[in-house]
Amino acid sequence: MRERLEKMLAAGHDNALLRFGLGQACLKDGDAEAAVLHLTQATAQNPQHSAAWKLLGTALRQGERPDDALAAWTRGLAVAEQQGDHQSVKEMTVFVKRLQRPAGG
């Protein structure tokens, strides 16, 4: 799947949905760094895409960038609330709480 999406991108079909799909595929492959690049592009191309913010936070967290993950999820929460995306609000709220939990606690 990732290869097919990368071919579409190389052919000039760049848009937020394609970047979101590539980010998902990269995360599935364990490539958090590439996922961050694609998901950052997805959120730049469509700042109202709450699922892209959620996945960007996940990729950043996997890439050992907790402060950046928190920033992405915070932005994503605002977007999800504005969009009425209750499921994403619930999920990102949990992610933020887990991230802010003291180590060993």
Between CA 21 and CA 5 the distance in angstroms is: 7
pLDDT value of residue 103: 64
Q: What is the mean pLDDT of residues 71-97?
A: 96
**Which of 16-20, 83-87, 100-104 is least confident?**
100-104
Assign 3-state DSSP to the chain and report helix, strand, coil percentages, each to 5: 80, 0, 20
Q: Indicate whether 104 pLDDT > 80.
A: no
Q: What is the mean pLDDT of residues 4-8?
A: 95
Measured torsion, CA atoms of residues 25, 26, 28, 29, in degrees rounded to the nearest 10: 120
pLDDT tens-digit map of 42-54: 999 999 999 999 9
Of 72, 43, 49, 61, nearest in space to 99 by CA: 61
* Token representation of residue 105: 């606690």
Tally DSSP H helices, then E strands, for the chain: 6, 0
Q: Does pTM top 0.85 for this prediction?
A: yes
Give domain 2-100's CATH superfamily.
Answer: Tetratricopeptide repeat domain (1.25.40.10)
Domain boundaries, the chain: 2-100
